[in-house]
Chain A
Amino acid sequence: DQQVKQNSPSLSVQEGRISILNCDYTNSMFDYFLWYKKYPAEGPTFLISISSIKDKNEDGRFTVFLNKSAKHLSLHIVPSQPGDSAVYFCAASGLQGAQKLVFGQGTRLTINP
């Protein structure tokens, strides 16, 4: 039973436009959520996180939105740049990050010039 799901394996966006990556979770005990970015032949790199006490967290071009009632979070990248092309993983944890992370399958984002 997959507790964190990223239903879109891939997404293609024009450079300069907004990229929206989605993630759904089923475990209501999750209260801390993270996005990681992964380039080929490299390990995942932490991008941004959000606690369940917030519904939005922003860091430069990256914003994460959390909808607790829908058990859904999304990552917005605006404007999208070619260097944003990578695989993005959503992850969730309980106890405000003290518990183990559970990862989604990832979404491959391609930014077209």
Chain B
Amino acid sequence: AQKITQTQPGMFVQEKEAVTLDCTYDTSDPSYGLFWYKQPSSGEMIFLIYQGSYDQQNATEGRYSLNFQKARKSANLVISASQLGDSAMYFCAMRENTGNQFYFGTGTSLTVIP
């Protein structure tokens, strides 16, 4: 089974609007971390936001927030007030306490329309 599933290959959003990128995960480890990365066309993976499995509140970092629904095993990224520079690939990732590697989804390509 896929550890991380991102079902939206591509998304479009109007500049200044909010957008939600979906991510579901699969793990039996009670302790894990969820991460979102941005990958512009230049190729570098840029860390955006982190949510721990025991965190009671949803994580926020500036215009990024993570909608964490533990029972549904979802960790959706919300980008508010989209900017043209937000156009990029976005990857959801997970690391389990019992493991070493980060598992990545297949990504969502976000295009911000002026």
Q: A and B from one assembly?
A: no
